[in-house]
């Protein structure tokens, strides 16, 4: 049969405080705390303590901390709470209902968390798509602007300064013209004698 933790319970206007002493033989990392609407359960190997409550507590606003081997649990309710006492059958039935409510609450919390994560993911994807579309639009606009500028440059007539070209040609032909004169001297070249058949002819 499992052992139980020694604990103290204190109930104020809307807050319930439970302080459980954890023996040195229990590893603090192995503590299992469960807070349901109508009971609080603290378990560990060979230990279990369940505190039944008269009124349901808020599952979204409770605290749990351990200091100097004293586990302190704070839970909040709409009215001042107290320890619930009844027959074993009634208590077991009540615990089952409370645990079912806890499971439903957990499912709703996880569902809302998944919806928030999916919404955030979807918004991030849409934002990324919008940024890419904006980049494409800016790039397309830049290319169209460059094409339009190129078309405008090509459509402008090319005006040549014929007078200036003529002046340049004239200047090239008349300025610093070099005249070359060549002379040569007649020279007699020695010609080898032909054979006898050609002499005297």
Checking if the pLDDT of 25 tops 90, the result is yes
Checking if the pLDDT of 169 tops 60, the result is no
Asked whether 3 and 46 are in contact (CB, 8 A), the reply is yes
- Backbone CA torsion sign across 100, 104, 107, 109: negative
Phi, psi of 123 (to 5 degrees): -65, -40
Phi, psi of 182 (to 5 degrees): -125, 140
Tokens of 16: 């319930």
Q: Enumerate the domain spans of the chain.
A: 6-85, 88-149
Tokens of 56: 């349901």
Q: State the pLDDT at residue 201.
A: 46
Euclidean distance between CA atoms 26 and 47, whole angstroms: 9
The sheet with strand 15-21 has its strands ordered as 6-11, 15-21, 70-76, 63-67
Q: State the pLDDT at residue 166.
A: 58
Write the pLDDT tens digit of every residue in 110-132: 998 888 888 888 888 888 888 88
Is domain 6-85 in CATH 3.40.630.190, yes or no? no
Whole-model pTM: value is 0.60
Residue 186: pLDDT band by 50, 70, 90 thresholds?
A: low
């Amino acid at each position: 049969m499992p052992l139980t933790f020694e604990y103290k319970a204190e109930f104020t206007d809307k807050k319930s405080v439970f302080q459980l002493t954890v023996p040195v033989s229990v590893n603090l990392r192995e503590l299992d705390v469960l807070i349901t609407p109508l009971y609080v359960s603290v378990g560990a190997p060979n230990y279990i303590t369940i505190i039944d409550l008269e009124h349901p507590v808020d599952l979204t606003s409770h605290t749990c901390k351990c200091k100097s081997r004293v586990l302190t649990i704070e839970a909040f309710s709409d009215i001042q709470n107290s320890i619930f006492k009844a027959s074993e059958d009634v208590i077991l039935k009540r615990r089952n209902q409370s645990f079912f409510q806890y499971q439903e609450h957990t499912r709703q919390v996880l569902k809302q968390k998944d919806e928030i994560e999916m919404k955030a993911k979807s918004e991030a994807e849409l934002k990324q798509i919008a940024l890419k579309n904006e980049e494409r639009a800016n790039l397309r606009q830049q290319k169209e602007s460059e094409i339009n500028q190129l078309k405008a440059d090509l459509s402008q007539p090319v005006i040549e300064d014929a007078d200036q070209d003529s002046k340049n040609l004239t200047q090239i032909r008349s300025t610093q013209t070099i005249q070359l004169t060549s002379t040569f001297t007649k020279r007699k070249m020695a010609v080898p004698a032909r054979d006898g058949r050609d002499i005297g002819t």
